[in-house]
Structure 1
Amino acid sequence: MKNSLTAVIYLEPDQVSLRIIELPKGRVVNDVRSGALALGNDKIANYAQNMAAIVNNLNGFKQQLKDYQVQNVHFYGAIEDLAPIDARYVADQLEVRTGLKIQWLNNNQLMAKTMGCVVNRLAEFKTLSKHCLYLLTLGLDSMTLAFFHHGNFEKQWEIDLGGAKISRLVQRLRQTTTNPQEIIQDYISSKLEYISPELKRKKRTVLLIQNAPVLSSHYIKEGKHLAEIPQELLSQANREMEIKIDDRHPWSQNITTEQERRLVIPNYLVIARTAYLIHPLSIFVTDISMMDGLVNGFADSRAQSQINTMIRTSADDLAQRYGVDTAHRDFVTRFALQFFDQLRPLHRLDNHARLLLEIASKVDDIGNFINQQSHYRHSAYILKSNPLIGLSDDDNQIIAEVARYHSSEAPTATQEHYRRMDDDIQLIVAKLVAILRLVDALDDSRQQKISSIKLNLTNDSLLKIKVIANNDLVLEKWSFSKKSELFSDVFGIKPVLIERGGH
């Protein structure tokens, strides 16, 4: 039995938890949580100051792992607003004191895992999302709103409306303002109104709320994962915007700590304003949590495939938003993946790198929306400002840098952005760029003249690229001669373009 047990430890700014599951069914064997950790006054992620409490809890978890004889342990942490250098310090301290090595996850990774879990584990999801469904996930630093249409994920927005941030604003306003209600209302509205034009208001729209433990514990019955919330309660909030809570409030008996009390009203107001913009037919809450999302990745073989689909969907949505040439995008994506697959012995990259190349192929031209001149730099800027759901910070950086160097500039030691990257990332970027530049050159005219490509890697350090074209390739050949130089530098192989009938 011990060989089938897997443990997941999850560190959040306000608590650390352990769940032991039995695979392959995912049955929960043990599920424990720490007491509340104090949130920071400056940064929400207060891990350094809470280090003693975190280590104490982790050592307690380790004893439970020993008791259950669990060998397979995964330790994750929500990076929230923690700076990268501080995250490394905290990770090192945790490993030294507990022997556990943490893997930091950003909000986009956590959201993808959790949304996948909601789709798969919530029995009612298919019915709720039959038409239009918005999934609102509350967080300490930000909130996420995702849109599903006919059961399929379409897009998501990360909005700067974290419960802890609003709570701090409320506390400051109470000290300086006699009537802070209107200010809070305007603050929340200002953050939400900019996405209002993109929201689809249809008669059969459903709003589903996640990561709202006070709501969950009040409305959801034991053994269930879903409950409907009375809309009148939220309508009242939009009318009065009351920011106090007392024992008469319907949720008050479910609040167990002062920190939780401070977060309830900000989250309540965010939910109310979101509902006001969406005009849902009904509102539900689910108790499926971030921990459920993490565990789901081990218990459900479909989890990663579903996340990859979300990543591709987000990339397509970004490309559409910035007016990317669809025919050129599809051409480049198709043949870039062909090159990747047939050149595996040469680049020796894994399937995750293949996914990153696919995404980069879809979005490398989004910078044309700003200006065709130096569009590749604009593409990198947009991608860094719009990290894709489901991808790590390193993954998003790789995609942005591949977009930066897919056209005119090359990733060399003279490029400042390239020099700043970690060594491991540098090599992946260089290999993916080398492939993408070749394929991009083959459609330099944006007319998709080439219908098929065959690759032949010879023993004399040549890569013969034989193409069948329906038109003259003068421009493509000229572009290919320039863009193929990086491929030779990276792989030590000279690419040669051969038209049908060539030698």
Structure 2
Amino acid sequence: MKNSLTAVIYLEPDQVSLRILELPKGRVINDVRSGELMVGRGNIANYAQNMEAIVNNLEGFKQLLKDYQVEDVHFYGAIEDLDPVDARYVGDQLEVRTGLKVQWLNNNQLMAQTMGCVVTILPEFKELSKHCLYLLTLGLDSVTLAFFHHGNFEKQWDLDLGGAKISRLVQRLRQTTTNPQEIIQDYINSKLEYIAPELKRKKRTVLLIQNAPVLNHHYISRGEHLAEVPEAPLDKADQELGVRPGSHGAWISSALTDAQRRVNLPNYLVIARTAHLVHPLSIYVTDISMMDGLVNGTINAGAQSQINKMIRTSADDIAQRYGIDMAHQEFVTKFACQFFDQLRPIHRLDNHARLLLEIASKVDDIGNFINQKGHYRHSAYILEANPLIGLSDKDNQIIAEVARYHSAESPTATQAHYRQMDDDIQLTVAKLAAILRLVDALDDSRQQKISAIKLKLTSDQVLKIKATANDDLVLEKWSFSKKSKLFNDVFGIQPVLIERGEN
């Protein structure tokens, strides 16, 4: 029995939950949730202060796991707004006191898992997203708005409009103003208006709301995962700065707990303003949760492939937004992946590193949007400010740093920025940057002269790169001679560029 069971534990700022599943079908054997945890007054993530309650719940979960003889346990935590250093402290305390090692996930990772689950599990999704669909996922610290077109994910926006965060602002405003709701409405509008030009208002647009337990409880029937909800209360919320008592029905008044009541009005106003901006034909709510996304990612072998597709789409979106040369991007991405595959015995990196190289190849030149001079530095800080969906903070940092070092600066001991990186990513950054820099030199003219490449590593540690070209490679050879030094420094191998027909 124990070999057919797995378990997922999920720690959030307001609760910790456990789900035990029978494999391979994923049938739920047990689903347990803790009582409410106290959300912090400073950071939303209040794990240190809630440590005793969290540990007590985890000890109870461990007893259930023992009763069911479950040995395969996956423990995830939502990092929310927790500082990375504090996250390490909290994670270490949890491991010492419970023996369970938490894997912290940022919002971009959780959203990718959850969106992948919605697409996979919700039978109606294909029809709902046949034209345009916006998925609005409510959170304590932030909300996420994702856009799907013809069933495919296209882009997302992270908005600083979390229900708990706005609720705290309301409490502060009540001490200084008699009408905080009007100010909150303006605050919400200000956060949403900046993305308004990017939103598409189509006649057949659908708005799908996620992570709204009050709406789930009121509208979704047992055994279902989807329900349509009325728009009338939202129309009133948009027409009036205030919401009159009793005008909103289930949207606010049927909150299940005190915590839900505190965050439900801000969530309601965010939903109302979003609906006004996207002008949906219909509005639905789904009870597919973050936990469902984590479970799907654990038991569904194809889940990561779907997430990787979202990652690539996000990279292409940011590349287009910053006006990169698409022909050069395609050239570099294609040959960077070829180099990675054929040089596996040398770099010894895994397929996830290949994905990071592919993404870096797509976005390494976005800094040209700001200035061609030092564009690689501009690329790095744009990427630092725009983390990609589905990737960890560490992955996003690797991509930004590979972009930083793909051109002129080198990741060496004399480079202060490189020295400040964590030890566990320095070598990966250097290896990927060395490969990308080599490939980037092969299209220095931005004319894609090379149509095919063959690699051969000789016994005297020389990498012969034989290129089939439709024009002379004088500029490419000059650039290659400069940019090949990093590859030689990192791998101890001297690359040599040879035009087909040369010896």
SS in 1 for 2:249: coil
Is the CA contact (8 Å cut-off) linking 2:214 and 2:256 kept in structure 1?
no
- Please list the CA deviations of residues 187-232 of structure 1 after superposition, one character each: whole Å capped at 9, or x if unmatched: 0000000000000000000000001111111110111000111000
Q: What percent of counterpart residues are identical?
A: 80
**Equivalent residue runs for 1:339-354 within 5 Å:** 339-354=339-354
Is the CA contact (8 Å cut-off) linking 2:132 and 2:148 kept in structure 1?
yes
State the match for 1:91 in structure 2.
Answer: 91
1:174 and 1:12 mapped to 2: Cα distance? 28
Output the amino acid matched with 1:334.
K
1:327 and 1:39 mapped to 2: Cα distance? 49
TM-score (norm 2): 0.98
**Equivalent residue runs for 1:219-230 within 5 Å:** 219-230=219-230
Choose 462-471 or 108-117, whichever is displaced more: 462-471
**Equivalent residue runs for 1:331-370 within 5 Å:** 331-370=331-370
Shift of 1:251: 4.7
2:187 and 2:347 mapped to 1: Cα distance? 50
SS in 1 for 2:148: strand
Where structure 1 has 5 or more consecutive residues not aligned to the other structure, the ranges are none
Is the CA contact (8 Å cut-off) linking 2:236 and 2:243 kept in structure 1?
no
Output the amino acid matched with 2:283.
I
| RMSD of aligned alpha carbons | 1.2
Shift of 1:480: 0.5
Is the CA contact (8 Å cut-off) linking 2:367 and 2:377 kept in structure 1?
yes
State the match for 2:17 in structure 1.
Answer: 17
1:36 and 1:383 mapped to 2: Cα distance? 36
**Equivalent residue runs for 1:146-225 within 5 Å:** 146-225=146-225
SS in 2 for 1:486: helix
State the match for 2:372 in structure 1.
Answer: 372
1:251 and 1:440 mapped to 2: Cα distance? 54
Output the amino acid matched with 2:165.
K
State the match for 1:52 in structure 2.
Answer: 52
Shift of 1:15: 0.3
Choose 342-351 or 229-238, whichever is displaced more: 229-238
Is the CA contact (8 Å cut-off) linking 2:442 and 2:476 kept in structure 1?
yes
Shift of 1:256: 2.7
SS in 2 for 1:496: strand
Q: Which runs of 4+ in 1 moved over 6 A?
A: 244-248
Is the CA contact (8 Å cut-off) linking 1:132 and 1:149 kept in structure 2?
yes
**Equivalent residue runs for 1:480-495 within 5 Å:** 480-495=480-495
SS in 2 for 1:250: helix
Shift of 1:249: 3.5
- Please list the CA deviations of residues 316-337 of structure 1 after superposition, one character each: whole Å capped at 9, or x if unmatched: 0000000000000000000000
Is the CA contact (8 Å cut-off) linking 2:431 and 2:490 kept in structure 1?
yes
Do structure 1's residue 235 and structure 2's residue 248 form an aligned pair?
Answer: no
Is the CA contact (8 Å cut-off) linking 1:384 and 1:396 kept in structure 2?
yes
CA distance 1:237–1:190, shift in 2 (3 Å): same
Is the CA contact (8 Å cut-off) linking 2:182 and 2:242 kept in structure 1?
no
Do structure 1's residue 442 and structure 2's residue 442 form an aligned pair?
Answer: yes
Shift of 1:299: 2.4
2:379 and 2:354 mapped to 1: Cα distance? 20
2:311 and 2:266 mapped to 1: Cα distance? 30
**Equivalent residue runs for 1:266-305 within 5 Å:** 266-305=266-305
Shift of 1:248: 8.2
Output the amino acid matched with 1:437.
R
Output the amino acid matched with 1:434.
A
Do structure 1's residue 35 and structure 2's residue 40 form an aligned pair?
Answer: no
- Please list the CA deviations of residues 254-293 of structure 1 after superposition, one character each: whole Å capped at 9, or x if unmatched: 4232111101111011000000101000000000000000
- Please list the CA deviations of residues 421-455 of structure 1 after superposition, one character each: whole Å capped at 9, or x if unmatched: 11110010000001000000000010111111000
State the match for 2:381 in structure 1.
Answer: 381
- Please list the CA deviations of residues 157-184 of structure 1 after superposition, one character each: whole Å capped at 9, or x if unmatched: 1011111111011111122111122211
State the match for 1:118 in structure 2.
Answer: 118
- Please list the CA deviations of residues 41-67 of structure 1 after superposition, one character each: whole Å capped at 9, or x if unmatched: 010000000000000000000000000
1:443 and 1:177 mapped to 2: Cα distance? 61
- Please list the CA deviations of residues 348-371 of structure 1 after superposition, one character each: whole Å capped at 9, or x if unmatched: 000000000000000000000000
CA distance 1:183–1:470, shift in 2 (3 Å): same
State the match for 1:263 in structure 2.
Answer: 263
Choose 247-256 or 416-425, whichever is displaced more: 247-256
Shift of 1:244: 7.6
Shift of 1:88: 0.4
1:119 and 1:63 mapped to 2: Cα distance? 34
1:246 and 1:277 mapped to 2: Cα distance? 24
State the match for 1:453 in structure 2.
Answer: 453
State the match for 1:130 in structure 2.
Answer: 130
Shift of 1:241: 3.9
Is the CA contact (8 Å cut-off) linking 2:214 and 2:250 kept in structure 1?
no
TM-score (norm 1): 0.98
CA distance 1:268–1:363, shift in 2 (3 Å): same
Output the amino acid matched with 1:458.
T
Where structure 2 has 5 or more consecutive residues not aligned to the other structure, the ranges are none
2:245 and 2:337 mapped to 1: Cα distance? 56
2:191 and 2:485 mapped to 1: Cα distance? 47
2:58 and 2:68 mapped to 1: Cα distance? 15
Is the CA contact (8 Å cut-off) linking 1:210 and 1:287 kept in structure 2?
yes
Is the CA contact (8 Å cut-off) linking 2:81 and 2:141 kept in structure 1?
yes
SS in 1 for 2:497: strand
Output the amino acid matched with 1:305.
S
Is the CA contact (8 Å cut-off) linking 1:245 and 1:265 kept in structure 2?
no
2:361 and 2:413 mapped to 1: Cα distance? 24
Shift of 1:252: 5.6
SS in 2 for 1:256: coil
State the match for 1:391 in structure 2.
Answer: 391
2:478 and 2:440 mapped to 1: Cα distance? 12
State the match for 1:145 in structure 2.
Answer: 145
2:417 and 2:330 mapped to 1: Cα distance? 28
State the match for 1:69 in structure 2.
Answer: 69
Is the CA contact (8 Å cut-off) linking 1:241 and 1:269 kept in structure 2?
no
SS in 2 for 1:498: strand
1:169 and 1:411 mapped to 2: Cα distance? 44
Choose 418-427 or 385-394, whichever is displaced more: 418-427
CA distance 1:324–1:330, shift in 2 (3 Å): same
Output the amino acid matched with 2:36.
A
Is the CA contact (8 Å cut-off) linking 2:252 and 2:264 kept in structure 1?
no
Aligned residues: 503
1:255 and 1:138 mapped to 2: Cα distance? 15
